[in-house]
A and B are shown apart, each in its own frame.
Chain A
Amino acid sequence: MEKPRQISAMEAFEKLEKVGEGTYGKVYRARERATGKIVALKKTRLHEDDEGVPPTTLREVSILRMLSRDPHVVRLMDVKQGQNKEGKTVLYLVFEYMDTDLKKYIRSFRQTGENIPVNIVKSLMYQLCKGVAFCHGHGVLHRDLKPHNLLMDRKTMTLKIADLGLARAFTLPIKKYTHEILTLWYRAPEVLLGATHYSTAVDMWSVACIFAELVTKQALFPGDSELQQLLHIFRLLGTPNEQVWPGVSSLPNWHEYPQWSAQSLASAVPNLDSDGLHLLSEMLQYDPSKRISAKKAMEHPYFADLSKAYL
């Protein structure tokens, strides 16, 4: 992480192919010339002169500096400063290379019509909970957990949490959080209802949605607007009220919504055993204070028969 004046990023790495494109720049598969090692290079343009270093980069790097030691958080190996052809500063984040992500993995099963094997779902879920527990234990909220942000190695079936650009440390007193975060489908109801002081439970809601999606290969709540998103949730889990969720009617975006009663999770997520359904329901608790934590989830009976030695 020292300032690399001597050797530029482009001398150190050979770009092999573009593998993705984010908000702030391209991601390449690249080879480190010195070692032959394959890495992912995330290039960050600083082209918006007025903005300087994008805050997502600033947060991602500093948070990964703290969390990268966990086996279930993507490993940031280095940050290099370089210049593009126009002579502008670019930053390269050097990550370990992972060959796929959970979104592509789920899609590959959807295409063949097969189900993801039960033991694989369990292993991936356990690794996800473990990584999330690690982040939360270090005072970091991810805030944008979704299949696309979970990297995988197909050979070892290792899962790693990535894209911490929206993550933040939640432990220091700051002005209210914005609620303009998270992909809609995985967004917790308290965020949709406009709560500005939310916590680790928002990540657990996303974990629940990912869990169901691993089993059914379909998004659990595929809303296309904030209102539709809420109605999707209410239709399955019942419209919340002060009894199940004290304080819900005082949230900023609360209105009189259509009244639905809760449907059975088993019908929405078939092929999940009773332990799995119980865990899922604990993760989908309306009241954030009652929602299960990542750490508690790891101890749930659903994971009892999983061999955790290598996870």
Chain B
Amino acid sequence: MAELENPNVMPNLITFLSSLLQKEAESNDVNRRFKAQKVSVFHGLSRPTISIQNYLDRIYKYANCSPSCFIVAYVYLDRFAQRQPSLPINSFNVHRLLITSVMVAAKFMDDMYYNNAYYAKVGGISTTEMNFLEVDFLFGLGFQLNVTPNIFNTYYSYLKRETMLQQCPPSIVESSLSLGRSLNLHLCFNEEDSTHQNQQVAV
């Protein structure tokens, strides 16, 4: 996975991840009017003014964690959404979910990482709030933090493919747009299915 260390790969991937989360949040913002969504500790009283892209760029710049942590954080967000269907990502909670998922990924994966107080500063919230978010996020995930290589690669290749499609010259974008429509762009890999394919890693 040396390509993750390539300085050109991550910024593009971060940009794509931002747009993906933004689409997801906006679509759930619309749904909120029709379907009840629970208010959680992740829910801000107002919509944060910083864009998702700028927020994620900021985390990427200051967290200084292994690049893999961003892929893992994305897996966590997806797991969280699947386990907590009444708490979909929307514009009011996406920032808090993001900072928490990256922090938890870094704490789980890396031997050296910044503490909650540091992440709180990066995320623009208080340490007390950061700590609450962490515990709620962990229980929301049922503490399932482990990501098998198979799951990792499924998410990573999805992000990589979509990131590349976004950067293609117009003629190719044309064809990929129609492809994009047929692909389900939502965050929804069925982990149960993919774990079966790789029995030696995840039985």
A contact residues vs B (CB 8 Å cutoff) = 1-3, 46, 49-53, 55, 58-59, 61-63, 65-66, 79, 81, 89, 91, 137-139, 168-169, 171-178
Contact = CB atoms under 8 A, between A and B. Distances in A.
Interface residues of B, number: 41
Contacts of A138: 201-203
Nearest to A177: B111
A139 B201 contact: yes
B139 A1 contact: yes
12 contacts: A2-B139, A51-B116, A53-B107, A58-B138, A62-B108, A79-B139, A89-B135, A137-B200, A137-B203, A172-B152, A173-B66, A174-B68
Contacts of A177: 111
A55 B78 CA distance: 22
Interface of B: 1-2, 4, 65-66, 68, 72, 104, 107-113, 115-117, 127-128, 130-131, 134-136, 138-140, 142-149, 152, 200-203
A81 B66 contact: no
Nearest to A175: B66
Contacts, number: 108
Among A49, A52, A79, A138, the most chain B Cβ lie within 10 Å of the Cβ of A52
Contacts of B2: 173
B139 A81 contact: yes
Nearest to A91: B135
A66 B151 CA distance: 15
A13 to B, nearest CB: 18
A62 B117 contact: no
Nearest to B100: A52
Nearest to B1: A173
